[in-house]
Structure 1
Amino acid sequence: MIEVRNPGTGELLGEAESFTEERVASVVETAQAGQREMARLPAYERESLLRRVADLVDAESESLARLLAAENGKPILQTRGEVAAAVRIFRGYAGEATRLFGRQIPLDAVPGLERHLAVTMREPLGVVAAIVPFNYPVELYAHKAAAALAAGNAVVVQPPSRCPLAVLRVAELVAKAGAPQNAHQVVTGGVRVSQLLAELPGIAAVSLTGSTVAGRELARRGADTLKKVFLELGGNDALIVCADADLAQAARAVVLGRLARGNGQICCAVKRVYADRAVHGEFVAALLEETRNLTVGDQLLETTDVGPLISEEAAERVETAVRQLVSDGARLVTGGGRRGAFYDPVVLSDVPVSSAAFGEEIFGPVAPVASFTDPMEAVRLANASPYGLQAAVFTRDISRAFTIASKLDVGGVVINGSTALRAENLPFGGTKDTGGHREGVHDTALEFTRQKTVIVMEAFQ
């Protein structure tokens, strides 16, 4: 069994089964029958199923938010927002279940085929494995599971081993809503479970949100069975502060998009800040003023801004990275104290861009600020990262903003706002080592289908 504990207090919250290889293989085998049942459901029934799930989750939103906060460490105000997002996502994919359109392709574009008719139809891929990370487990589960079901697939979900309880409860609600037997199953465990989901031939596609290391490994293992692999991986998002920026607004964006959002454990959090040298000191002062107002503590209290990281080991890794940045020449402006899994938000100034730690993804409440002298230099520094999830630029010059946005090698650019922005109806994902996949209500269900072409010979006289 896997013990699930509150990362801040160590309190035992529950247990989950650690699936053996045989148990995982059995689930995947039974999911084949579940998939056939899902594929038989007409679109309006899939839509109705997903709406019932959304209503049941909505009815339990407060208890789910409290459970998620307790096991994950995010403050309760943020887990409420996450559960609300999951409800919207299920409702959004309910609508998409009725909008998986095919095409009519004019064959008169080819000489000799003028009398024939071609159409395409969308069919489900099969069984989709949804591997969910610890930082936003309920929301990201919804993106994967709801999309798979909307398209007529079965889904096998692997929730994060450190905080699976809220997802397990939602899975019970999916069954209560009337999902066909074995069409929606959950397997819990560690790395070996993920590997099996990538290896087993009964899985048609794997959707992973996780680290780049994990993504590469699962892609390699999935290659033997030629399954589709959808990857949304790491990020090291840059925020560029130009000399004409609203510095107070930019400072708030860093705090709300990094230090006080998900305890800094978000793939699209602001992880690097580049401030024009002319305003570097003034910006750091504004950032310090905003950071001083943050409250670190019990994630179940309404007044808490920053709770514990997912584990003490995670906090230790952040502590090590900050120590390395300071050793490389950065100046610690505030924060850095660690108490178990709690880590006080850090602001660092004058960070050397050559520091290896600055180029790596730090998964915690750390805001490192470097400087530049020309906006195109900032673009070059931002693009030097192997990751390309999102980026942001603060400037009052709209032409400069769009010029910088066009040159940043990332999946999304936010102008005068934080990189930590994900709306479920927008495509979300990145370039390079971030994986290349895009996830969103109007994209994912379609990607969880395959096209079949049907040609009617002599359809026209």
Structure 2
Amino acid sequence: MLAADAVIAVHNPGTGERLGEVPKTTQDGLARAVARAQHAGQRAMAAMPAHERARLLHAIADGITQERDALAHLLAQENGKPITQTRGEVDAAIRIFHGLAGEATRVFGRQIPLDAVPGLEKHLAVTIREPLGVVAALVPFNYPVELYAHKAGAALAAGNAVLVQPPQKCPLALHRIAEIVEAAGAPAHAHQLVDGGAEISQGLADAGGIAAISLTGSTTAGKEIARRASTNLKKVLLELGGNDALIVCADADLEKAAEAVVLGRLARGNGQICCAVKRVYVQDPVHDEFVDALLAQTAHLTVGDQLDERTDVGPLITEAAAERVEQAIGQLRADGATIRTNGARRGAFVDPAVLTDVPTESPAFNEEIFGPVAPVARFKEPEDATRMASESPYGLQAAIWTRDISRAFTMARQLDVGGVVINGSTALRAENLPFGGTKGTGGYREGIHDTVADLTSQKTIIVMDAFA
């Protein structure tokens, strides 16, 4: 463990119970971690054959599997997500590590025909992919285990050392997984945790000896990390904020569309998901019927202890986070929206809020609300909905509900986003798909295939007169 002159205390956000602590990394400790990763961990990982990297990743997945229930329980305690959802998150991490083990053996180069260029017909060109270098992985609080797997696992699969910054409010599960990684046989200093706040994130962005930095977080944080990383030209991989729209056309299955909002916004992750349904646009003829269905389904949600199997919505990550959601609800109401559910706050808990008559020009509607809030606005024609959805400063994902497949594809082409889900929720992420978005969402795409390739560098080798 790196030297620390302070600790970070971790609490259950619902009860305030102290769950444990982790040492806060000092600036000297961070510098030592970077040096060790660069001079020891990176060399060891780069020398490791692909089949050994695959074995390591499979072993990590197996180690997580053996502790699946304990990790899910710990994650629920420190994060606030219901236990039923943290089990799913740990399962996703297991799949990601197994998937990345396969990717470790499929880091392909190319043979490029030089006879396309006159005079070079007798020569041979090939490319190979090599490890990029030390990777810094900045992990968010909302899905820490899953997103850690995407970042740290991909770095190891590509033959890189990795420095992981766990989220301050819920680092305990990742510290336990770090012990599993060590037990699985990761080389010394190839996988290190550095704990702290913005000073650690910014220190990693500033540091020489780091080839790439991967962040899932807010757009504000992403801009600052990119600015700092530009001073030494490290590669920056950003998956940032979202304000995803779900569009309900007049021919949609309204009950299922309402369920997509409930599960994709109000219940999943306590509403703290970058790709959650954050804006709902409903075509005029079915607006009232859709709202009735949404309210009826919302009424069945249970808010409470995240360790209770019956809970649908647990506490937000902190009481301060819940206060920000409460303020956003208040702003929507002040701008003219009508609240149709309780939407009350109790400490870190926020009851699911459904609002109608939402003015689309409301600043609160156009900014990302990180909590169980579903604001509903109207539209007349499909092109109106795609225009309003695309006017957001974010561009992660969107969803379209319609039975007309031609309309669905036409609207999907019109939306300025990274992904479109037809007849489903925006809160969908499969580990083998590219995930990310346009504009303020960062422009990057993360997924087991894409990330491993992005964490390698391409080298061209030319053999003169190979075909003499």
TM-score by length of 1: 1.00
Deviation at 1:214, TM superposition (A): 0.3
User: What does residue range 112-127 of structure 1 map to in structure 2 within 5 Å?
Assistant: 112-127=119-134
Give secondary structure in 1 for the equivalent of 2:25: coil
**1:335 aligned partner:** 342
Q: Distance in 1 between matches of 2:224 and 2:270?
A: 27
> Does the residue aligned with 1:18 lie in a helix, a strand or coil?
strand
Inter-partner Cα distance in structure 2 for 1:259 and 1:43: 42
User: 1:104: Cα distance to partner?
Assistant: 0.5
List aligned pairs for 1:123-202, cutoff 5 A: 123-202=130-209
Q: Which residue of 1 aligns with 2:279?
A: 272
1:19 Cα shift? 1.0
1:347 is paired with a residue of what secondary structure? strand
Deviation at 1:442, TM superposition (A): 1.2
Between the aligned partners of 1:185 and 1:192, the Cα distance in structure 2 is 17
Corresponding position: 1:27 with 2:42: no
Q: 1:52 is matched with which residue?
A: 59
- What is the Cα deviation at residue 278 of structure 1? 1.1
Please name the residue that 1:363 is paired with.
370
Q: Pick from 395, 413, 417: which aligns with 2:424?
A: 417
2:333 to 326, 339, 346: 326
Q: How does 1:361-440 map to 2 (within 5 A)?
A: 361-440=368-447
Partner letter of residue 254 of structure 2? L
Q: Give me the whole-angstrom Cα distance separating, in 2, the residues matched to 1:127 and 1:398.
A: 45
Aligned counterpart for 1:69 among listed residues 76, 81, 94: 76
Alignment of 1:443-454 (within 5 A): 443-454=450-461
Pick from 300, 306, 316 the counterpart of residue 313 of structure 2. Answer: 306
Deviations 1:347-400 (A, max 9, x none): 001100011100000000000000000110000100010000000000111110
What residue is the counterpart of 1:103 in the other structure? Answer: 110
1:49 & 1:457 partners in 2: Cα distance? 38
- 2:357 is aligned, of 332, 350, 372, to 350
What letter is aligned with 1:155?
A: V
Q: Secondary structure at the match of 1:87?
A: helix
> One-letter code of the match for 1:274?
Y
SS of residue in 2 equivalent to 1:442: helix
The structural deviation recorded for 1:220 is 0.3
> Within the alignment, does 1:284 sit opposite 2:306 as a pair?
no
* Alpha-carbon distance in 2 for matches of 1:279, 1:419: 21
Query: In structure 2, how many angstroms separate the alpha carbons of the residues matched to 1:217 and 1:325?
Result: 29
Partner in structure 2 of residue 205 of structure 1: 212
Q: Give the secondary-structure state (helix, strand or coil) at the position aligned to 2:236.
A: strand
Deviation at 1:64, TM superposition (A): 0.1
- Listed as ranges, the gaps of 5+ residues in structure 1 are none
Shift of 1:410: 0.3
Give the distance between the partners of 1:146 and 1:355, measured in 2 at CA. 40
* Equivalent-residue separation in structure 1 for 2:19 and 2:325 (angstroms): 25
Report the counterpart of residue 89 of structure 2 in structure 1.
82
Shift of residue 281, structure 1, vs aligned partner:
1.0
Q: 1: CA distance between counterparts of 2:316 and 2:280? A: 22
Deviation at 1:335, TM superposition (A): 2.2
Question: 1:18 — aligned with what?
Answer: 24
- Partners in 2 of 1:245 and 1:175 — Cα distance? 50
Moved over 6 A (4+): none
**How many residues end up aligned between the 2 structures?**
461
| TM-score (structure 2 length as normaliser) | 0.98
CA distance in 2, matches of 1:243, 1:456: 62
> 1:420 is matched by which residue type in structure 2?
A
Aligned residue in 1 for 2:465: 458
Alignment match, 2:4: none
CA distance in 2, matches of 1:423, 1:326: 35
Q: Percent identity?
A: 71
